[in-house]
Amino acid sequence: MSILQNVSIKELNTFGLNIQSSYFTSIHDVSEIHSVLHSKECIGKKYMILGGGSNVLFIHDFEGLILRNELRGIHIVNEDENYVWVKVASGEVWHELVLWSIDRNLGGIENLSLIPGSVGAGPMQNIGAYGVELKDVFYELEAMNLKTFEMETFSKLDCKFGYRESVFKHEFKDQYFISSVTFQLNKNPRINISYGAISQELRKMVVGNPTVKDVSDAVIHIRKSKLPDPKILGNSGSFFKNPEIETEQFNSLKENFPAIVGYPLPNNKMKLAAGWLIEQCGWKGKRIGETGSHKDQALVLVNYGNATGNEIYALALQIKQSVFEKFGVVIEPEVNIIGIIS
């Protein structure tokens, strides 16, 4: 375990921002965390955990210690006639886990194919796509409490999963290092192709009775055709969450904007498509200097090559403001903004 100084993390964040971190170390075993945080260089310093860097926007250089998660290992820890429980070290690449499960015809995460990043960041925002969320297959996770350095186990209930939410984004923000996640995968996969685009894609692939591999292939194909590849154009996927509003507010918006689409939620609420709201404000495809909203996906903010984190953040604030002025709806970032006081 070595602690490096003044390290560029340009290759370690999907926005491709040339951020310098004053200190940087890779964690290969949770037992290293205590000594790193107590080392003479880093004691008392600010720190953060970095997985794949696909859901972070650094506003400026990071004056502190970055702990890059390199924990590895996928192990079956239990099984019965219907399920397999798989314990996965948090530094594993999420999509590699999806491929691992598909190789064994285990069902549950095929719809989450090709989501970038690490397994350990998955529970942070309860990653989701194409009608499935991580919580649907989550069993438990282990995390190190960064105050006591004790290991703790969190059940699904403890994690308080919601739409792109968990306890780790709120009351336990920056307080735990998630070290492993255990998933309950299905030996008799129940295919979920209720999300329109998947069944359409499967029809194009001429697949009648889809396997988990077929669903994964369809999802991969859709994602590749819809989303910019961060290796080519820096981005962090959807920048904002889809906002939830009261049905009453939705009905009055519908009078002024008949094309507005809302998805009913429990508790008399409606979910709106943030991308649509942003597009209606004229942002889709708009470029400001080195940043902008993507030409096909208004919700995706991009770095054309030399943007700074501050420029992207300033654009996000302008977009947020214009959506509020036009619709009276507040949109919140899905991306973790590093460097502002929240």
Ligand X SMILES: Cc1cc2nc3c(=O)[nH]c(=O)nc-3n(C[C@H](O)[C@H](O)[C@H](O)COP(=O)(O)OP(=O)(O)OC[C@H]3O[C@@H](n4cnc5c(N)ncnc54)[C@H](O)[C@@H]3O)c2cc1C
Our finding on whether 125 is near ligand X (CB under 6 A) is yes
Q: Least distance (Å) from ligand X to the CB of residue 150?
A: 15
CB 51, min distance to ligand X, A? 2
Catalytic-role residue among 90, 118, 236, 238: 238
Mark whether 238 is an active-site residue.
Answer: yes
Q: How far is the CB of 286 from ligand X (least distance, A)?
A: 20
Closer to ligand X at the Cβ: 125 or 308?
125
Asked if residue 211 binds ligand X (CB under 6 A), the reply is: no
Q: Does 177 bind ligand X (CB under 6 A)?
A: yes
In the set 68, 164, 216, 293, the catalytic residue is 164
- Say whether 164 is catalytic: yes
| CB 92, min distance to ligand X, A | 10
- HEC string of the chain? CCCEEEEECHHHCCCCCCCEEEEEEEECCCHHHHHHHCCCCCCCCCEEEECCCCCEEECCCEEEEEEEECCCCEEEEEECCCEEEEEEECCCEHHHHHHHHHHCCCECCHHHCCCCCECCCHHHHCCEECCEEHHHCEEEEEEEECCCCCEEEEEHHHHCCECCECHHHCCCCCCEEEEEEEEEEECCCCCCCCCHHHHHHHHHCCCCCCCHHHHHHHHHHHHHHHCCCCCCCEEEEECECCCEEEHHHHHHHHHHCCCCCEEEECCCEEEECHHHHHHHCCCCCCEECCEEECCCCCCEEEECCCCCHHHHHHHHHHHHHHHHHHHCCCCCECCEEECCCC
| 237 binds ligand X, rule: CB under 6 A | yes
Q: Which is nearer to ligand X, 105 or 337 (CB)?
A: 337
Closer residue to ligand X in complex, CB, 19/49: 49
Of 276-335, binders to ligand X (CB under 6 A) are: none
From residue 128 to residue 167, the character string flagging contacts with ligand X as x (rule: CB under 6 A) and all else as - is: xx--------------------------------------
Among 137, 178, 260, 315, binds ligand X (CB under 6 A): 178
Q: Which of residues 41-100 bind ligand X (CB under 6 A)?
A: 48-56, 69, 90
Is position 104 annotated as part of the catalytic site? Answer: no
Contacts 24+ apart (CB under 8 A), 322-325: 322/281, 322/282, 322/283, 323/274, 323/277, 323/278, 323/281
Query: Is 113 an interacting residue with respect to ligand X (CB under 6 A)?
Result: no
CB of residue 20 vs ligand X: minimum separation in angstroms?
Answer: 17
Q: Which of residues 23-52 bind ligand X (CB under 6 A)?
A: 48-52
Residue numbers at the binding site for ligand X (CB under 6 A): 14, 48-56, 69, 90, 115-118, 120-122, 124-125, 127-129, 176-178, 227, 230, 235-237, 336
